[in-house]
Amino acid sequence: MAARCEAAARVGQVVLPGDVLLLPARPEQSDERLLRLGTGAAAAAATRGRLLCGPGLRRCEAGLLVTKGGILRHRAGGGAFWVDSQQKRYVPVKGDHVIGIVTAKAGDLFKVDVGGSEQASLSYLAFEGATKRNRPNVQVGDLIYGQFLVANKDMEPELVCIDSSGRSSGMGIIGQDGFLFKVSLRLIRKLLAPKCEIIEDLSQLYPFELVLGMNGRIWVKAKTVHQTLIIVNILEASENMTAEQRKQALAKLSGN
């Protein structure tokens, strides 16, 4: 039988699909204004006094229906609820920055594997300074760091490697050397957090380049292959390590 309880009382606890989270009654606002569905761009959609339904939750008549098992999280500032889960399958979201692999050329478009249910399209004009005469040198197998311009269930996802001003802003083709690996979406969100302790600790160990994609892909490059593999192993293990365990591992490596 599905559980029914106040959403605020379940924050930090495990919720299961089918659970219904009751929201506090707010007579000054109707249900239509109370809930706003959202994903990655929560801050842009949420306004003061409104609740935001994030990943793993869906609106229903009683409140919020849990659609994904995990730990319930809440951000008081924006009024957002979401489920922090161990999901590995990525669902494209407009505005997300991802790492893709070029799989084919189809006319003026490139097909890019982003780890979702279908491949995304990328126009040759979606690069900084690209024109019909000055086409980017993109080959099958290249790694692309870009963001979703279009991402919804009714249309094919579309990637671009420029921002709204036409600048690359760090997006484009990623270097051939380096190491690409995949982690859970939960770990990616942790690494993308401001002043992430994991990244700060690693930066004191070796100098390295790092590209993080919201689709769970990470590209890393250090001075040597040995250093690169060490960083990869630490990043993969950091999801299940405490801060103390991570510091002890880094201390042993720095001693070598």
Q: Which of 176, 175, 142 is nearest to 159 (CA)?
A: 142
- As a whole-number percent, the residues of the chain with pLDDT over 90 amount to 31
In a domain, 205, yes or no: yes
User: Rounded CA gap, 228 and 205, in Å?
Assistant: 11
Tokens encoding 240: 């299940």
The CA distance from 229 to 205, in Å, is 13
What's the rounded Cα separation, in Å, for the pair 190 and 71? 14
Which CATH number belongs to the domain containing residue 200 in this structure? Answer: 3.30.1370.10
pLDDT in tens, 107-158: 889 999 999 888 999 999 999 988 888 888 899 999 999 999 998 877 889 9
pLDDT at 83: 83
Which amino acid makes up residue 81?
A: F
Q: Residue 88 — very low, low, confident or very high, per pLDDT cuts 50/70/90?
A: low
DSSP 37: E
- Domain limit, last residue, from 129, 158, 173: 173
Same domain, 150 and 226: no
Domain hosting 114: range is 96-173
Task: Say if 30 falls within a structural domain.
Answer: no
Domain boundary, last residue among 155, 173, 191 = 173
Based on the fold, state whether residues 184 and 161 are members of the same structural domain.
no
Task: Please state at what angle helix 243-255 crosses helix 225-237, rounded to 10 degrees.
Answer: 160
Extract the tokens encoding 162. Answer: 């420029």
pLDDT of residue 186: 83
Which of 141, 173, 205 is the endpoint of a domain? 173
| pLDDT tier for residue 51 given thresholds of 50, 70 and 90 | low
Residue-wise pLDDT tens digits, 28-38: 444 443 344 44
Strand (E) or helix (H) holding 144 = strand 143-152
- Assigned domain for 192 exists: yes
CATH of residue 129's domain is: 2.40.50.140
Mean pLDDT of the chain: 81
Q: What CATH number does the domain containing 70 carry? A: 2.40.50.100
Number of domains in the chain: 3
The model's pLDDT over 224-234, given as tens digits with 9 standing for 90+, comes to 999 999 999 99
